[in-house]
Structure 1
């Protein structure tokens, strides 16, 4: 054998004391090095479990302007979703980047799901569009809109608007009737086929939302209830899920394909809801939700509630949300629900 110190060849016993010392020293150094590597690796992967802020996407990643999460820029599809009790549970709603809650006739509500980052194979049930959908959707550029029908007086208005209407008559292969419930609560859309019928649909772009660290202050809350004349929404904070879990009319809202509905940010946007000039087939006046203008809002994120203000200068512009002092109010990264409620 060869001594690692002097280089001489030796038999067992020669230089043994010196060699054993060298070996012991080498082992100590190796052990220290291994401990150092483990510590460095642990520190590199360490996160503060008490931090509420999600990691920011890297600069090289494309980020959705609707959720603040990594996503490729893709066309925007809005789907008008039925929301009376016989229409629940929904299918595909968990894939939506944004969900708007709008008041309709009789004080009931419908949902407007906005998708771009992800497309479920099926979404629904689908129902008819309303006049105020046009103003709300113009901030998205030229989005596609999937819906089941519209009042005859609304059809020419839709045709002249920037919104790309994709009802069953224009994309018959995108829709089907399910056998799980009675009509009219059983019409579903295949989003990919609906977008194929609107090849000029705008890709996702900024609509005024900002994502990042929460503002200072806020009030700790675990539950919030939002009431409409004939509907009620509940939001319960789940620290484990990092989401506000949704209930509708006192019942947990679930989807047939994705579990419990939830949102990283919930916005209660107080607006003016007035009568439109249109009526439904039963003669009830359709409400019109004014989403251009300014007003107050309540923003829920990270288990806290923040007073806010919103402003939107015109239909082509996005909606800005600020603190009462005028600073931009960041949303938490993830799906956003916006409830348009009367002021």
Structure 2
């Protein structure tokens, strides 16, 4: 694992939005052997790597100084096309209520001028933000997520309800699908509040991994996640272009198609709570999945032992797995869903 420390304090922002949620953890998880990560002080330019920890790509001098953060972004049909996703390093996608998907996107290398629509947090999004130890922008959240934020001062919540100056409404869209922010606004909040950030990443990148001729071809990837949402990908010019419900996805900021170098599919138990609405998504434990890149596929295993460790990815036989250098979309789906590809 690679690690960088930003010496930057935190104002927690809390709102009251009713929901309930119960975290699910795997009691059968065995500890995964991890290397002790180096700690790199970001204040010394001599110690900053030229590679982005989240994409493996080279960073310019300006990009090196960018503060990484995350943002929870709506993915209902009324929210499309979203803004900023084409500039994210990693986009995580999973389900919210009613079979509607939602993103939490990680930004480091780039500085999008508009990000959104921003929506509310759930416990499993907290788990992802905690995994990468990053501040995240959101607007409100479920009762349990907000209770967790209130109880844990280490969680780097940037809640619009308490920090409206760092967000804005776009008059061209109808509420609640019109709340936005920008990379500059979120980074200004982080520096103004002296938030401490320890950048950690155990992702490994090696383009040569995908030159293995024994890997199966996968130039089309399909994910039918429920009766209300289907997403698929077509491999074009070295990247996977994303489609949602049969429509090519674009970024509202620049009209660029959403395309990704890597697609991670992480299968895990997802259950409906007793209210028949909210979800339990098991983020701690182990399971199987798929990694797509360069028009090929590798079946993988994932493992995460505790809330403050990162998800480890290996090949099905336990060897190290490598992403190709570039951006990634990371699907967290139920065990009952299997991607199809050809």
Q: Give the alignment's TM-score, normalised by structure 2.
A: 0.76
Aligned to 1:275: 272
Aligned to 2:245: 249
Matched-pair contact (CA < 8 Å) for 2:139–2:161: no
Give 4+ residue runs of structure 1 displaced > 4 Å after superposition.
none
Matched-pair contact (CA < 8 Å) for 1:246–1:261: yes
What's the offset of the Cα at 1:81? 0.5
Question: Hey, what's the Cα distance between the residues in 1 that align with 2:117 and 2:241?
Answer: 21
Aligned to 2:289: 297
Per-residue displacement from partner, 1:235-278 (whole Å, max 9, x unpaired)?
1101x2x211101111000011231001100011101112357x
Per-residue displacement from partner, 1:124-176 (whole Å, max 9, x unpaired)?
111111111112221212x1111111134432211233321111133212111
Unaligned runs of 5+ in 1: 1-58, 278-282
- The question of 1:65 aligning with 2:26 is answered no
Question: Hey, what's the Cα distance between the residues in 1 that align with 2:283 and 2:139?
Answer: 23
Aligned to 1:210: 204
Q: How many residues are aligned here?
A: 276
Q: Secondary structure of 1:318's partner?
A: coil
Superposed, 1:56-135 pairs within 5 Å as 61-71=49-59, 72=64, 74-135=66-127
Per-residue displacement from partner, 1:162-203 (whole Å, max 9, x unpaired)?
321111133212111112221111111123222322331415
Do the aligned partners of residues 312 and 73 (structure 1) sit closer, same or farther apart at CA in structure 2, a change above 3 Å counting? farther
Greater relative CO (CA pairs within 8 A, separation 6+):
2
Question: Hey, what's the Cα distance between the residues in 2 that align with 1:153 and 1:311?
Answer: 25
Matched-pair contact (CA < 8 Å) for 1:73–1:117: no
What's the offset of the Cα at 1:60? 8.7
Matched-pair contact (CA < 8 Å) for 1:292–1:312: yes
- The question of 1:321 aligning with 2:318 is answered no
Specify which of 149, 154, 169 is matched with residue 145 of structure 2: 154
Question: Hey, what's the Cα distance between the residues in 1 that align with 2:92 and 2:73?
Answer: 10
